[in-house]
Structure 1
Amino acid sequence: MDDDIDECQDSRVYAVDLAYRTRLGNPEFYGDPEVALVDCLHRKNLVLQNYTMNQYRKEYDSYMNDTSGGMPEDWFSFDFNDSAALSCLAANKSPLIQPRLEIWKPLG
């Protein structure tokens, strides 16, 4: 049964998940996930219209080079507690969502 479940996931579920994520977070099919993320933030009105890729990359670099252990919400122009922002991050497989996933431990 486990082999059948794995086969089903490999052949069906992953393809559907990828298509869903792409449609949700990157409907324009940008090749660069950062461009797709910024576009998603714009489409959902989570950043000002003058928010650019350069600004995102500066914020991202500052966050990644931070040694104080700060959370992403301290560095970026968008609200990390907004479910729409989290959707954009998850749909575009942003590494910024990883600290949030590590904190979430529903079973203890």
Structure 2
Amino acid sequence: MMKYSEDRTDCENNYSASIDDIFRTQVGNPHLYASQTQGIVDCLIREKLVSPSYTAQKYVEETSDPNHPPKSFNQKDMRVRGCEVANNYIRGYIGDPVEHLW
């Protein structure tokens, strides 16, 4: 049991972050775009959350200014947020549910 515990701890400490990164990339940026924004936009297009003509520049314009007129997508939609998180862009909103684990 001690050996199992040591091996499990070693695996979690040395490999789980890499596995998480690979999985997230595989889901959120399968074309391996170097640009985080392009990865997000590609995911939004694949998920049919924006039109195929939607661009990374348009995404930057719409998300960088909170006073921008209505966006092409609902930023609070969990599918949109999934595309962002899968490309290492994480943000929260007022009113998001909060889970206190400790």
TM-score (ref. length: structure 1) = 0.71
Instruction: Say if 1:102 and 1:18 are closer, same or farther in 2 by CA, change over 3 A.
Output: farther
SS at match of 2:73: coil
Query: Which 5+ residue runs of structure 1 have no aligned equivalent?
Result: 67-73
- By how many angstroms is 1:98 displaced? 1.8
Q: Which residue of 1 aligns with 2:36?
A: 33
What count of residue pairs does the alignment treat as equivalent?
Answer: 95
Instruction: Say if 1:29 and 1:87 are closer, same or farther in 2 by CA, change over 3 A.
Output: same
Q: Report the AA paired with residue 86 of structure 2.
A: A
Could you say which structure has the higher helix fraction? 1
Q: Which residue of 1 aligns with 2:15?
A: 12
Q: Deviation per CA, 1:13-67: give whole Å up to 9, x if none.
A: 111101100000000000111000000000110001221122111112213xx5x
Aligned residue among 72, 76, 92 for 2:71: 76
2:62 is aligned with 1:59: yes
Larger Rg: 2
- By how many angstroms is 1:103 displaced? 3.5
Partner Cα distance (1:87, 1:53) in 2: 17
RMSD of aligned C-alpha atoms?
A: 2.8
2:91 is aligned with 1:98: yes
Instruction: Say if 1:21 and 1:101 are closer, same or farther in 2 by CA, change over 3 A.
Output: farther
Query: Which 5+ residue runs of structure 2 have no aligned equivalent?
Result: none
Partner Cα distance (1:39, 1:20) in 2: 17
